[in-house]
Structure 1
Amino acid sequence: MILETDRLQIIPCTKETVQIAINQNYNNGPQIANYLEDLTKDSSLLYWGCWIVVRKSDDRVIGDIGFKGKPDENLAVEVGYGFLEEYWGKGYATEAVEALIMWAFNTSKVEKVKAETLKDNYGSIRVLEKLGMQRIDQTESMVNWKIDKKSYLK
């Protein structure tokens, strides 16, 4: 399964698909390697972890996105994302997160999507605001967000 937007392909990470990122020397942190290790232990995590974001115009891996695990008992998942700095401010994160949220809500296993961001990460805050996520609380350093299926799909 590959999610497609106008400009992006969003590909779930597996041992096979991660080769795309490896071949391009993509390294944006340990989350992909950690997820692949967890996936070997529990195949039901497929789709509920890392996905690679590929720009269609040049087949370039520009970031990764995903969930921090399967839906919980409240049918909620947390989304996270990271993009290479040269691709910030171009709408790619918004486009990719929107596609992943829509996919999650269409699985019938998710009723709420959560996110968290540093309180001074204004780019990420803007992404979540554009997608209609609501601030639910804030600590000294983090802001927590959510959106529910009914609000999102109306």
Structure 2
Amino acid sequence: MMAEIITKNLLLVPCSLDISKSLIIHRQELEKRSPIVIPKHWPSLFIKGILPLYIERLEKDETELCWGVWLIIEYKDKQIIGDFYLKGKPDAEGRVEFCHHLNPEFSIDHTHEALYAFTDWLLLEKSITAITTHCTLEQELLINAFGKLGLICTDRDQDYLTWSLKKIEEDIHD
């Protein structure tokens, strides 16, 4: 499995065990030594909350690396602008769920670029049959992006929307 995604403006990479631990234990030292700028507002509160669980997953099974926290790095300024979080390996039916957080100071084009690249990567993975993500009703730009990606709104719980995309396997006949 490919461990990085490269686009025109972005690099998406899984967050290693070392970086995950450093974010919790030695953040100031990590900020000083990292060639990539780690903004004060990153990681999001959600990622901060799941980092200990993610670290446990990685310590038990290093193959979890691509199925957890991903960093979204912008080339030009060499800084982290957001993250993706996969809630684990595909389930028995091949479904995965992800969420994402991007710094709103960056253009919606960066958001689209990251979403398109990450979704494409997921759909190329043979073990995945469907992907799911979420947004709120007021996130009109995300709703538009999800629609362009082919995701379908499958559930609405008040202002919370669930989006899904099932991979269609084409029959190959000789």
- Give the alignment partner of residue 28 of structure 1, picking from 23, 44, 49: 44
Describe the shift of the 1:45–1:71 C-alpha distance in structure 2 as closer, same or farther (beyond 3 A): same
Cα offset, 1:17, TM superposition: 4.6
Matching residue of 1:65: 84
CA distance in 1, matches of 2:114, 2:85: 10
Matched residues, number: 150
Cα offset, 1:64, TM superposition: 0.5
Cα offset, 1:107, TM superposition: 1.9
1:33-44 equivalence runs, <5 A? 33-34=51-52, 35-44=54-63
Alignment gaps of 5+ in structure 1: none
Deviations 1:83-115, CA, capped at 9 Å, x for gaps: 11211x432122112212222222201011111
Matching residue of 2:18: 16
- Is 1:47–2:66 an aligned residue pair? yes
The more displaced of 117-126 and 73-82 is 117-126
- 3-state SS of the aligned residue for 1:91? helix
Question: Partner letter of residue 127 of structure 2?
Answer: K
1:1-154 equivalence runs, <5 A? 1-18=3-20, 22-23=30-31, 24=38, 25=40, 26-31=42-47, 33-34=51-52, 35-87=54-106, 89-150=107-168
CA distance in 2, matches of 1:122, 1:37: 35
CA distance in 2, matches of 1:137, 1:108: 26
**TM-score normalized by structure 1?**
0.84
The more displaced of 103-112 and 21-30 is 21-30
User: After TM superposition, which residue ranges in structure 1, 4 or more long, deviate above 4 angstroms?
Assistant: 17-22
CA distance in 1, matches of 2:57, 2:145: 28
RMSD: 2.3
The 8 Å contact of residues 4 and 13 in structure 2, kept in 1 or not, is answered as: yes
Name which one, 1 or 2, has greater alpha-carbon Rg: 2
CA distance in 1, matches of 2:118, 2:12: 8
CA distance in 2, matches of 1:60, 1:120: 27
The 8 Å contact of residues 152 and 165 in structure 2, kept in 1 or not, is answered as: yes
**TM-score normalized by structure 2?**
0.75
Question: Partner letter of residue 44 of structure 1?
Answer: T
Identity among equivalent pairs (%): 24
Question: Partner letter of residue 15 of structure 2?
Answer: C
Question: Partner letter of residue 27 of structure 1?
Answer: P
Alignment gaps of 5+ in structure 2: 32-37, 170-174
The more displaced of 99-108 and 51-60 is 99-108
